[in-house]
Structure 1
């Protein structure tokens, strides 16, 4: 299984390699990682990497990635290739293709748009269990919730 840090570094490298001026803020990186994991559960029935996501105020957040950038980056800070731990990360071909597929579909959105999108989806809403939009929550979004929701969405897309 991949490390979430390797997937994060792959995303950073891909985004910045294609366009050095492309925006990749911390918030957006978190949501892209979430969608990679969530769709992997829905399509492949297994996680893409180790690690889960908590249903925070600003949408799904992986605490390891949060902690990795917490000392130097804010929510809206730009993430750059210099922030990569593994600058030469190589993923298995199938995994790289999957991450690229997710990026093709989600990279066009801003961090704020991805936050709003995640706020409209069942896994985040159900995990927060009635909490207000600005109430803190550190409950983890269950893999089962992600699997059910994104598997159904995948079936609808392919119907």
Structure 2
């Protein structure tokens, strides 16, 4: 099952709120999602966990819609889960939706936990530098704004983090 970028971001925000990931800035969230998508695609035959695309931006891979959702934080840590206001179906009011990973999706949860353990220790800037390393999916074309394909992500994960 593919999830919204906000749902996967919320999984990392939850872990940060529990003290499992330090300094979870918007940049760091973007890079954690990138590694999550890359590893999911590699492990599960080119499938996507996130139903959005990453673009090649100056500071590495970015989901544009998530960037706009989080840009108000600047370089400060994200303090709360992402929610959206929606009108109720019967038109009687507004309700808030907070996207999240299905609790029965053990593959997604296990991978998010593993990404948190392996990559969560690094700052957003360090993760950005890692995505720029030669041989990574971002480095194939550099900061040209193009979409990074699922195949590129699955087959070009940072060399020192492939174990």
TM tier relative to shorter chain: 0.7 to 0.9
Question: What is the count of residue pairs matched by the alignment?
Answer: 144
1-structure distance, mates of 2:100, 2:48? 19
Secondary structure of the 1:80 match is coil
Deviation digits for residues 66-119 of structure 1, max 9, x if unmatched? Answer: 12123x222x122112x4225583432221111111111100111111011000
2-structure distance, mates of 1:56, 1:88? 25
2-structure distance, mates of 1:90, 1:38? 17
Q: CA deviation at 1:43?
A: 1.4
Pair 1:137 & 2:135 matched: no
The answer to whether the 8 A contact 1:127-1:140 is kept is no
The answer to whether the 8 A contact 2:24-2:77 is kept is yes
Secondary structure of the 1:60 match is strand
**Unaligned segments of structure 1, at least 5 residues:** 129-135
The structure where strand makes up a greater share of residues is 2
2-structure distance, mates of 1:90, 1:39? 17
**Normalising by the residue count of structure 1, what TM-score does the alignment of the two structures yield?**
0.80
Pair 1:39 & 2:39 matched: yes
**Normalising by the residue count of structure 2, what TM-score does the alignment of the two structures yield?**
0.78
Poorly superposed stretches of 4+, deviation over 4 Å: none
1-structure distance, mates of 2:159, 2:60? 19
Secondary structure of the 1:14 match is helix
2-structure distance, mates of 1:68, 1:110? 20
Indicate which of 126, 137, 157 corresponds to 1:113: 126
Pair 1:149 & 2:140 matched: no
